[in-house]
Amino acid sequence: MRLSIEDSPEFASKKNDAEVKKGQPFAELIRDYRKPLIKVIMIAMVQNIGTYIGTVFIAAYFSSILGYSKGEASTIVLIAVILAAFLIPLAGQLGSYRGGKSILRYSYLAYAVVSIPSFMLMQQGSLNLAMAGLALGMIPYALCQAGTYSVMPEFFPMHIRHPGVAFGHSVGAVIGGGSGPFLATWLIGATGNQSTPAFILCASGLLGLIVISTVRKNAPAAGDDANTHQFS
């Protein structure tokens, strides 16, 4: 599928541009686009906290903390991820109508609202309720996946879009994906509270709402390539 996708007209018109080729996009990114880069890092951090707690850490949480067998834990996560595979395209379609920024706002609000009820269902000792709880958690997860990947490229003009998205997302993934499960494990051990992963997801949702409230939509570009990005 990737091999058959054509470049966007915007990129195709500039990929042979000598001025673009001899530039230093990473240096320009750090020098001129620090604020958008920080926002992309924060957006990626929130996304990866949700990903690594909601789909990776959660398997160990079911078996090691809640007492489900490894087979039961794997089944619960498998069903939830299959559900997410259907929800993410629907979230992307919704984003086509509402915009990626709105989808991110919905996802962050959902993380803040449904994470605690989701984990409460998981803690009832019922396999069916555990499935329902994690399925509920897949709603903000799916919205966040669709919104994150549609919004991030719009923070940068075409000639530095690749390093901007790649660097910003990678840094956010390291911070969020690395710290989320570690922090959840440490807090459960330190406090004995099985709901601490839900609190982390709620906090990340609130952080996302703060970040997205600072995102501004740029005026449409009028033939100026430097402004061919939607958000700042």
Q: Is the pLDDT of residue 12 over 70?
A: no
Q: Please give the Cα distance from 107 to 105 (Å, whole number).
A: 5
Q: What token pair was written down for 21?
A: 């080729």
Q: What is the per-residue pLDDT across 111-141, written as a single tens digit (0 to 9) for each?
A: 999 999 999 999 999 999 999 999 999 999 9
Beta carbons within 8 Å of 168's beta carbon, 6+ residues apart: 37, 40, 41, 44, 152, 155
Place of tokens 């609000």: 109
Q: Please give the Cα distance from 58 to 136 (Å, whole number).
A: 13
Q: What is the per-residue pLDDT across 22-45, written as a single tens digit (0 to 9) for each?
A: 668 889 999 999 999 999 999 999
Specify the 3-state DSSP secondary structure of 229.
Answer: coil
* Domains identified in the chain and CATH numbers: 61-220 (1.20.1250.20)
pTM given for the model: 0.90
Q: What is the per-residue pLDDT across 164-193, written as a single tens digit (0 to 9) for each?
A: 999 999 999 999 999 999 999 999 999 999
Q: Please give the Cα distance from 43 to 46 (Å, whole number).
A: 5
Q: Please give the Cα distance from 24 to 33 (Å, whole number).
A: 13
The DSSP letter of residue 223 is: S
Q: Please give the Cα distance from 66 to 27 (Å, whole number).
A: 48
Single out the residue of 49, 144, 153, 46 nearest to residue 102, CA to CA.
144
Q: Is the pLDDT of residue 205 over 60?
A: yes
DSSP bridge pairs for 217? 231
Cβ atoms of 139 and 106 within 8 Å: the answer is no
Q: Please give the Cα distance from 26 to 32 (Å, whole number).
A: 10
Q: What is the per-residue pLDDT across 149-168, written as a single tens digit (0 to 9) for each?
A: 999 999 998 888 889 999 99
Q: Please give the Cα distance from 73 to 127 (Å, whole number).
A: 9
Q: For CA atoms 160, 161, 167, 171, give the dihedral sign.
A: positive
